[in-house]
Amino acid sequence: MNFAPSHYRKAIYGILAAILLLPISFLARPNQVSKDPTMAGEATGGTISQMRSKHNLSQASLSSIDPTSEVMKLASLGLHGIAVNVLWNQANQFQEKKAFDKVSSTVDTLILLQPNFVSVWEFQGHNLAYNISREFDDYQDRYFWVKEGLNFFTKGIAFNKRDHRIFDNLGLHTGLKLGGSDEKKQFRQMLRKDREYVDTFVSKFINPDRFDKPEAGGFDSWMLSYWWYDKSYHMRENLGVPKRTSDLMYWVKGPQQLRQYAEALSVDFRPGEATQKAWRTAYEAWTDRDRVGERQGFGKRDIMTSFGIEIRLEDLERELERQRAISRRMDELVPGVREELYQQRVAKLSPDDQRILKMPADQRQFKDIGEMVRIEAMLLIYEYEIAERASPENRVAAQNLLRELADGEFRRNQMDSYRYTVNYNYWRDFTNMESTVPAVLARQAAYEAAELDRQGILESFEEQVTDENGVTTTVKRDGSIDALWRYFQHTSEAVKPFPGLHDGESTFIEDLMVDFTKFGGHLRDVGREWPDDFPMQWFIDERVRRYGRANIKNLMTTEDIEARKRERGLLEEQTEQPEQTKPAEQTDQAVQADQSGQGDQ
């Protein structure tokens, strides 16, 4: 046979290719399942396999291998990057043209090409649950699309077994969309009895009994979102899945859902024992121990800060106490210096500042409180000032204390800052307060007031009730005003032990202000004036004292009420002595008094 040069060339190529196969097969040799028990779990394949295994890069370590997805990738002949771009474009165009069913099917195809890219799941799941659902006018259609979004996320679980973000998103979207949107009432109502959805899409991952709450009338969206977060926590705690978000914002989610659940129970139903228990559970999960998921509470959780130290939010008070103890030890080492320095600084204050300083704290008014911030800054004594004045034999010890204090200060600042980020103190006090009996009674009264408002019953009324023996009795029924009165009485009792709750600005205070205004409005509607013995008058006065008159808008203070009483007394006196005042002036004064009374209300 006569071989042409091209045949030789091809033969050489073939031999070279075969030779090259040897190192490739050596490097890329797949993992073998070792029969030796001592080798279990160790990568035994080629170098590339070992590296894949070490860095969790192999498909099998990311998820189970889905034949559809693999076929899609193979069918695109290595051009799946371009195919992905085309599909993203198509999905966007379909969405612009409101062909939402096509968006859904395009996204289903798209995701097969990039199943391990969690951001795509996050983006498109959110897109379905939020952007597309809101395009529909009918809340039932919106509910359908929210579930489409949630189902989309659940499809992503199998593809991303070592990424907790899918579960985080399920928790986020179940909680916020079903429980926090405009249609939350309808969504939550429909979910309560949506056994088909739960059995088909959720029960594979979460036992439905866990969020089927008799006190909530069925499946509860907030409890469901809690259990999605629980799945994520399980991955982090037990499977060693790497974290993808900051500790603080990650661990806060579970307790947040429990709090939202308690809040929803309080609003959707007449609060009772179950509500109180839910608030207590939320409080405990926020601080000490999450008794639903049986894990550490948020406050006790080790949280890695961005400065690389681990803190626990609940340790702040202990840290403060520790610092105070160090300060006391400093005072023992350098006795009398702190007091001496303080007195020197007080002496330097202006007479006006000294007056404010000497004033009892609860008597300081709005402007004084502002001034006190400045005065306190002027009086601040740094520990190094004391340490510097330590005797030579105590100087080393004082310096050591200073270092301890500096470390503590750093930790305290971190705790403070992290607490502030999640509004830790407020929610701790709020959940604690809500789990008390007066708070539950207050919630009950608020619920009744809302019901009576809906019926338009403002004042109490009498009703003839005939019992089973045919005896008719007259029963006094409360109106909305009476229910609100009880609400304020109980709230006053509940909130007093928690100074943090009547301080600053919060939704709780905003809601209270709205309720005060509503109460005043109801009184005006029935021709009554602001009562002299309003149960939360102390609260209003406190707000005025601390934040000024503008903070309470048109509400009446004790001072206003007393002024009104004085005016009344004056009028009565004038009525007794009509001859001393001209009739025209008397009428003017009466009108003015009426107007001022109305205006204040």
Partner 1 sequence: MVVEEFRSFSDWLLTEGALLTFVFVAAFCAVTGLLLGFLVSSFRHGPGEAFYAVSQTVFQAVPDAFGMKFRRIWAIGRLAMKENFRLFLVTLIIFVTSLAVAGWFIGGGGKYPERSYVSFLFFAAQILISIFAVLVSAFSLPNDILSKTIYTVVTKPVRASEVVLGRFVGFAVLGTVLLTFVGALSYVFMVRGINHTHELSEEITADKWLPIVDGFTPDGRRPFDPRAVFESTVLTTRNNDHVHRIAIVVLDDGTFDVVADETAGHTHSVEVVETDPETQRPKVVSFGPPRGNLRARQPIYSTPRGDLPALSLTDENGALNNGVNVGEIWDYHKYIQGGTQATATFRFSGITPQRFANTDSVNVDLNLAVFRTHIGDLRRRIEAEIELRNVVDVAETETAQVKSVKIPFETEEFKVQTLTIPRKLKNGTIRTVGQPDQVNQEFDFFEDIVPNGELDLVVRCIDQKQYLGVARASIYFHAGDSSFGWNYLRGFLGIWAQMLAIIALSVALSTFLKGPVVLIGSVGVIVFGYSAKFILFVADSVIGGDRLADVWGGGPTEALYRLVTQMNLQHPLPIGLGSDIIEFVDAKVLLPGMKSLSFAVPRFENFNLANYLAYGYAIDNHMLMINLTTAFAFAVGMLIIGYFCFKTREIAAA
Binding site for partner 1 (CB under 8 A): 67-68, 71-72, 96-102, 104-105, 108-109, 112, 135-141, 144, 182-183, 185-186, 189-190, 192-196, 200
For 533, the token pair is 């013995």
Measured CA to CA, the distance from residue 508 to residue 98 in angstroms comes to: 40
Nearest CB to partner 1, comparing residues 450 and 590: 450
Instruction: Supply the Cα-derived Rg of the chain in whole angstroms.
Output: 35
Least Å distance, CB 97 to partner 1, is: 5
Is residue 246 within 8 A of residue 311, CB to CB? The reply is no
What is the Cα–Cα distance from 156 to 63, expressed in whole angstroms? 10
φ/ψ (deg, to 5) at 43: -75, 125
Measured from the CB of residue 280, what is the shortest distance to partner 1 in angstroms?
29
φ, ψ for residue 212 (rounded to 5)?
-90, 100
Residue 153 beta carbon to partner 1: minimum distance, rounded to whole angstroms? 15
**For residues 11 and 19, is the Cβ–Cβ distance under 8 A?**
no
Closer to partner 1 by Cβ: residue 182 or 510: 182
Q: Quick one: 181 or 225, whose CB is closer to partner 1?
A: 181
Contact 31, 47 (CB under 8 A): no
User: Which residue, 194 or 290, is less far from partner 1 as judged by CB?
Assistant: 194
Shortest separation between residue 1's beta carbon and partner 1, angstroms: 25
State which residue, 52 or 142, has the beta carbon closest to partner 1.
Answer: 142
Shortest Å, Cβ 70 to partner 1: 11
Closest CB to partner 1 among residues 67, 583: 67
CB 162 to partner 1: min, Å:
25
User: DSSP per residue over 255-272, as a string?
Assistant: HHHHHHHHHHHHHHS---
Cα separation of 270 and 282, whole Å?
Answer: 18
- Taking the least distance from each CB to partner 1, the nearer of 94 and 487 is 94
Q: Are 118 and 165 in contact (CB under 8 A)?
A: yes
Work out how close the CB of 182 gets to partner 1 at its nearest, in angstroms, rounded to a whole number.
Answer: 6
> What's the chain's length in residues?
601
In angstroms, the CA 177 to CA 183 distance is 9
Report, in Å, the least distance between residue 66 CB and partner 1: 10
List beta partners, residue 566: none
Question: Is 458 within 8 Å of 526 (Cβ atoms)?
Answer: yes
Instruction: State which residue, 72 or 334, has the beta carbon closest to partner 1.
Output: 72
Strand partners, 476: 462
Choose between 219 and 279: whose C-beta lies nearer to partner 1.
Answer: 219
CA distance 393 to 16: 83
Please give the C-alpha separations between residue 556 and each of 34, 361, 481, in angstroms, as whole numbers. Answer: 81, 23, 17
Least separation in angstroms between residue 159's CB and partner 1 is 15
